[in-house]
Amino acid sequence: MTAINEKLLEDRLGTLEAARSWSPRVVSRLEALIRSGEDDALFRVNPIKFAADKGMAEAEAIDLSLYATAHGLFEMNWMLLCSQCGCVTESFSAMNKLHDHPHCNLCRIDLEAKLDDYIAVSFTVSPQIRSIKFRRPDELSAEEYSFVYNVAPEGKGPDGRIFGAMIRDAMLTVGFLPAGAVPPFALDVKPGLLIGWSPLTDAGFAFNADAAAAPKEQTVRVRFSDSGCEPDTATVAPGRLVLEVESAVGYRSIFGLSLIPPEVNIFDRPPLKYDPFLSGSRLLTTQTFRNLFRSQVIEATEGIGVRDLTLLFTDLKGSTELYDRIGDLNAYSQVQRHFERLLDVTVRHNGAVVKTIGDAIRRRS
């Protein structure tokens, strides 16, 4: 039975409900998720998908997630995603740790991320409210770590499936590789591409199981290290194969084997298409984020790229004369109404007011 801190949950739901005006049943939908959702449903919650599933407005679902974080029900995750396989290459609790050059262990490639494209923000239930197993990755099975903890479900391949599902469906085995061990894997290999992979290191190989090769029982030894596998390419014959994997890393790692059919080319493929998620750029242009998490800033040395951003600057013409003509209090009241009107319009168009200076305003969306 799921252990929930009932008193704390009730207290924090109460403060959340009182924080602002919500549409009917919005907070109750969040409560139902926390109480009855499976562990994986409460790990990296996508507010855009939550809105679609519950028939809510996206903007309100995003605000709900942000207020739930501010009131201790959720914690925020900034994720760097792989454009090729959908792996979560890195995850941070605050945006000041973000950078724009992640590395994917599964694909063994360096990537470039922009705030609009491969930087996603999700939310996980607070461990003070409810404990879920994905908070303890060291206790997960090798398969759960590889295909749930390590993969964003929004990344889809050309067939519309989560890309990791292709590797998983083609999987022959996956398990933990103890430090210094040399476990043998006895396999019956069909024609195709036999790939070895790990979500934790760059260790990987691609062996071509060529039908033209003479069938025989074969033994191949592979050295598994942080930087890769030796050998990382080879040709083997279909049939019985004994694979000896020598672990040269000083910790327990994960090693998997998948056999990709000959008609599937996993090396020459377009970038994944991602289902809608809360991008870093959209979050930064959300007024609620700026109100509640104003102290969060990007500290990457060279900044992080953004592809699509609109900036608006406004100014009240003749404000000095206005103050002189109608007096300071009346003029100040007019300026504040100006700010309120622009804030309302900006928020309704999914933007955020960055700052006001005197009678001027700067908007980002």
Whether residue 298 is contained in a domain is answered as no
Choose the final residue of a domain: 127, 153, 179. Answer: 153
Domain co-membership, 15 together with 124 = yes
* pLDDT over 70 at 111, yes or no: yes
Whether the CA torsion 54, 40, 96, 162 is positive or negative: it is negative
For position 350, what pLDDT does the model report? 72
Percent of the chain surpassing pLDDT 90: 45
- Beta carbons within 8 Å of 44's beta carbon, 6+ residues apart: 77, 79, 88, 122, 123, 124, 152
Distance CA 175, CA 282 (A): 38
- Give residue 140's pLDDT: 95
- DSSP structural state of residue 196: E
Residue with the two structure tokens 């801190």: 5
What is the domain range of residue 330? Answer: 310-365
Average pLDDT over residues 80-98: 83
What pLDDT was estimated at residue 247?
A: 92
Residue 317, burial from CB neighbour count under 10 angstroms (0-12, 13-18, 19+): exposed
Residue that is last in its domain, among 103, 123, 153: 153
The answer to whether residue 355 sits within a structural domain is yes
Residues 141 and 188 in one domain: no
Residues 86, 176: one domain? no
Contact 275, 154 (CB under 8 A): yes
| Distance from the first to the final alpha carbon of the chain | 44
- Whether 158 is covered by a domain: the verdict is no
Identify whether residues 60 and 15 lie together within a single domain. Answer: yes
Name the pLDDT band for 223 (thresholds 50, 70, 90). very high
Winning range, highest mean pLDDT, from 257-266, 294-303, 320-329, 332-341: 257-266
* pLDDT score recorded for residue 307: 61
**Quick one: pLDDT band at residue 83, thresholds 50, 70, 90?**
confident
Residue labelled with tokens 């699509």: 308
The dihedral through the CA atoms of 325, 326, 332, 337 has a sign that is negative
- Please check whether residue 284 lies inside any domain of the structure: no
Q: How confident is the model at residue 305 (pLDDT cuts 50, 70, 90)?
A: low
- Averaged pLDDT for residues 228-241: 91
268 lies in some domain:
no
User: Taking all residues of the chain, what is their mean pLDDT, rounded to a whole number?
Assistant: 85
Higher pLDDT, 31 or 340: 31
Dump the DSSP string for 236-247: E-SEEEEEEEEE
Query: What are the CA-CA distances from residue 129 to residues 34, 71, 109 (Å)?
Result: 9, 11, 38
Q: What is the mean pLDDT of residues 41-59?
A: 95
**Same domain as 243, residue 190:** yes
Q: Which of residues 260, 275, 292 is at a domain's end? A: 260
Q: Could you tell me if 22 and 129 lie in one domain?
A: yes
Together in a domain, 105 and 176 = no
Q: Alpha-carbon distance 82 to 118, whole Å?
A: 7
164 part of a folded domain: no
Span 97-125, average pLDDT: 84
Residues 248 and 221 reside in one and the same domain: yes
Phi-psi domain of 32 (left: phi exceeds 0; alpha: psi -120 through 50; beta: other): alpha
Contact between 284 and 291 under an 8 Å Cβ cutoff? The reply is no
Identify whether residues 55 and 90 lie together within a single domain: yes
If asked whether residues 109 and 180 sit together in one domain, one would say no
Confidence tier at 297 by pLDDT (50, 70, 90):
low
Query: Is residue 141 a part of any domain in this protein?
Result: yes
Tokens for 352?
A: 């955020």
Side-chain-side CA neighbours of residue 13 (13 Å): 19
At residue 19, does pLDDT exceed 80? Answer: yes
User: Is the pTM higher than 0.95?
Assistant: no
Q: Which residue has the tokens 């760059």?
A: 202
Dump pLDDT digits (tens) for 173-186.
Answer: 999 999 988 889 89
The count of domains in the chain is 3
Together in a domain, 48 and 148 = yes
Is the pLDDT at 1 greater than 80? The verdict is no
Residue owning tokens 């003029």: 331
> In this structure, are 200 and 149 located in the same domain?
no
Per cent of the chain over pLDDT 70 is 88
Q: Average pLDDT, stretch 168-197?
A: 90
**To 10 degrees, what angle do helices 6-19 and 26-36 make?**
160
C-beta pairs of 230-233 under 8 Å, 24+ apart in sequence: 231/205, 232/204, 232/205, 232/206, 233/205, 233/206, 233/207, 233/208
The residue that leads in pLDDT, 180 or 50, is: 50
- Assess if residue 364 is contained within a domain: yes
The stretch 223-229 carries a mean pLDDT of: 90
Q: Is the pLDDT of residue 151 over 80?
A: yes
